[in-house]
Structure 1
């Protein structure tokens, strides 16, 4: 399947590599990736590239490219999944991933790669399990020489639930569920909603003893067709999510869903009047249309202005507003909005620099209005944890359970 794994710096130099199959030259592969992708900026266009009948799949983490190379009909989605999980494993060992940390921890990383990949096929990807016998200095030889410890590691590697130890114990048993969503909305000039969906994630942080069996029951009216889960999850026919959790904090699932209601913040009108070549007036109206009992906090509206803007005279009845000359935008900040608020108005008189011969024919492209906010204690897709059950068949303790919701904006744009 996979022939070579390479960690390259921003220039394309090899910081770390591992060859899984014969017939590959790491130096030649790195030169091809550098000369034909990095040097030509083609690397930013697509994470999958075919060069000389070889398939290159890469992800970028800060200034490091992690590249997989194969000469066969590669399952690219499996490659991406491996790369992302490998980065998570590396982050569990290193404070940060950079060229320096890769070279400083060369031995441990090579042994980690050997455990996660065997002859080009992904194997063990659980960071907590790998930590039991691979430290920052490499494999713990003294530990593996002890028959009892070696058998315990082998049992976890080949067992049904390799992600969790059996002898965990906490004086206080607790589990925290964080449901967070990012809102993506795009509205046309006429107010037509072109895009309206959310991308959600469920993070679990737990301090539970033994081998607890957890079950999340969701509300019946939520559609779970587009979702991905951690390998510890067993999805039941009755839409319940059953899992034996990893110890500590981990990502349980991701999902994508449609917005259950209309966009919470609406631009009622945006009137742009060109009074003269050096003066433009803007009237802007905003209304909060969120459900009753919910609110939008830390609201920020960015209204674009022409690049030749010299000064802006602003007037609002509520909040703080200022002109950002670097971003060429009026920034209006409001602490909180709810359904009971009246329409909010902003007027702006934009003073423009007189056009020159070079700029007289330039036309303002009118970028979209960008809005950001947070909705505490609520999500807008309709996702709800109806019930959370925790059962430990041997210890039979009663765990404290907490569920928290939060919505933020990923991209919320209103075209001018």
Structure 2
């Protein structure tokens, strides 16, 4: 299974990378792809056919990562390949952005040539690719870290892929720091009702590891001591209950069953240590209340949004409320006088968009909308309004209460000191309020 070409296109339609891998490509494919995804307001499907070519794409960090083929291929294979290429770019460049790819386009093309040969996958392992590429990444100024962990100057390692021998570097690299990053990432899918409760709640969580530890020492990561798996009868007041969980193939699951400790020798680069799912039983980061008062010619809509996360400061909270098709206009009034918030009525989409740039925990915001209705509409039901969708990203917050108790790196005293970092991020996948 081979792909015909690989492209990276910016949000404005600029072609950042274009590598034609086979001789079956058509000219102007980048322009054709961009016109296809922008001609519809809701965007194109992740797979579509145009002019005899099949386009597969993933949008990440404001960029389109595109693979094309001249024949049908399993979508799971192509999307997995695109995700691995994206992860490789991020590992080597330090950050995934338009500026980073522009500064490191030579390195990006070299990585593509090593990963793909005539469209066939060769190698996507960061540890092996590190031995093969020669170019050094140029780190963008906005990147906090001063150096790229995957590029080391003065390396005397061979530029060939090891086959049966160990994948570890042949010589120790004391010129770079030894560190490991742990991200607890959660996406919430919630449907709220009008009685301050939720109708449904699902949390999809992942523990992501990015390891740049020297010498590949074993690592022990301890989660909540009372963590429960698929047994809601044994639930205590604060212990999370996981409906499902899966682990990286190198995790010693016996230790996890006994003491909720994830024992692993992490490979270099980024990988998913653990995936889990929770249904209900979590804390709601936002509470939404809404009411509609109607007359024969107008309706008054009130949206009350309360952030229940203490000691948190969120940025760019977006509230979108869909209006009925018979609405002619809407006048908005932000009752809570807070700087950095905007509200507008989009007549084409028939929706109200309310953006709060800075939202403090344990505070509330109120938006009122006076809506003008079409004259022929005599009876209006509040169920014709909505749903209300809340989009947010909460840093250093775990909705499920899954936490890392401690992380120990089992290395000798003579080894280079290792640094460890833990971060929590909860985002909204679908956070809806229905009237």
Range class of TM-score, shorter chain = 0.5 to 0.7
**Does residue 244 in structure 1 map to residue 237 in structure 2?**
no
Q: Distance in 1 between matches of 2:338 and 2:388?
A: 17
Of 365, 387, 391, the residue aligned with 2:410 is: 391
- Which blocks of at least 5 consecutive residues in structure 2 are unaligned? 138-154, 230-241, 257-261, 347-351
**Does residue 187 in structure 1 map to residue 192 in structure 2?**
yes
Corresponding residue pairs, total:
382
Cα offset for 1:38? 5.9
For residue 199 of structure 1, what is the aligned residue in structure 2?
204
For residue 144 of structure 1, what is the aligned residue in structure 2?
none
**Does residue 114 in structure 1 map to residue 113 in structure 2?**
yes
TM-score using structure 1 length:
0.66
Contact preservation (8 Å) 2:178, 2:212: yes
**Does residue 213 in structure 1 map to residue 215 in structure 2?**
no
Residues 149-200 of structure 1: CA distance to partner in whole angstroms, max 9, x if unpaired? 46x44365654435x6751337986544332323231224576745422233
Cα offset for 1:357? 6.6
Q: Distance in 1 between matches of 2:385 and 2:394?
A: 28
Residues 337-384 of structure 1: CA distance to partner in whole angstroms, max 9, x if unpaired? 29xxxxx79584x5455x677999999952333446666654122433
Q: Please give the root-mean-square deviation of Cα atoms over the aligned residues, in Å.
A: 5.2
Cα offset for 1:25? 1.9
Distance 1:25 1:103, change over 3 A: farther
Q: Distance in 1 between matches of 2:114 and 2:89?
A: 12
TM-score using structure 2 length:
0.64
Partner secondary structure for residue 89 of structure 1? helix
For residue 174 of structure 2, what is the aligned residue in structure 1?
169
For residue 69 of structure 1, what is the aligned residue in structure 2?
69
Contact preservation (8 Å) 1:181, 1:407: yes
**Does residue 368 in structure 1 map to residue 420 in structure 2?**
no
For residue 5 of structure 1, what is the aligned residue in structure 2?
5
Cα offset for 1:414? 0.9
**Does residue 412 in structure 1 map to residue 431 in structure 2?**
yes
Most deviating of 122-131 and 152-161: 152-161
For residue 264 of structure 1, what is the aligned residue in structure 2?
284
Distance 1:267 1:125, change over 3 A: closer
Cα offset for 1:409? 3.6
Q: Distance in 2 between matches of 1:57 and 1:307?
A: 39
For residue 178 of structure 1, what is the aligned residue in structure 2?
183
Distance 1:393 1:99, change over 3 A: closer
Contact preservation (8 Å) 1:295, 1:375: no
Q: Distance in 2 between matches of 1:242 and 1:40?
A: 47
Q: Distance in 1 between matches of 2:16 and 2:397?
A: 46
**Does residue 154 in structure 1 map to residue 160 in structure 2?**
yes
Q: Distance in 1 between matches of 2:396 and 2:8?
A: 42
Q: Give the greater-gyration-radius structure (CA).
A: 1
Q: Distance in 2 between matches of 1:60 and 1:404?
A: 23
Partner secondary structure for residue 235 of structure 1? coil
Of 343, 360, 364, the residue aligned with 1:335 is: 360
Cα offset for 1:65? 5.1
Q: Distance in 1 between matches of 2:422 and 2:99?
A: 39
Partner secondary structure for residue 79 of structure 2? helix
- Which blocks of at least 5 consecutive residues in structure 1 are unaligned? 139-147, 339-343
Q: Distance in 2 between matches of 1:99 and 1:378?
A: 29
Residues 115-162 of structure 1: CA distance to partner in whole angstroms, max 9, x if unpaired? 212454422223464344423499xxxxxxxxx946x44365654435
Of 304, 307, 310, the residue aligned with 2:331 is: 310
For residue 142 of structure 1, what is the aligned residue in structure 2?
none
Q: Distance in 1 between matches of 2:353 and 2:330?
A: 9
Contact preservation (8 Å) 2:194, 2:434: yes
Cα offset for 1:69? 1.2
Q: Distance in 1 between matches of 2:103 and 2:111?
A: 14
For residue 81 of structure 1, what is the aligned residue in structure 2?
80
Distance 1:119 1:225, change over 3 A: farther
For residue 277 of structure 1, what is the aligned residue in structure 2?
297
Q: Distance in 1 between matches of 2:430 and 2:400?
A: 16
Q: Distance in 2 between matches of 1:123 and 1:55?
A: 22
Q: Distance in 1 between matches of 2:56 and 2:425?
A: 34
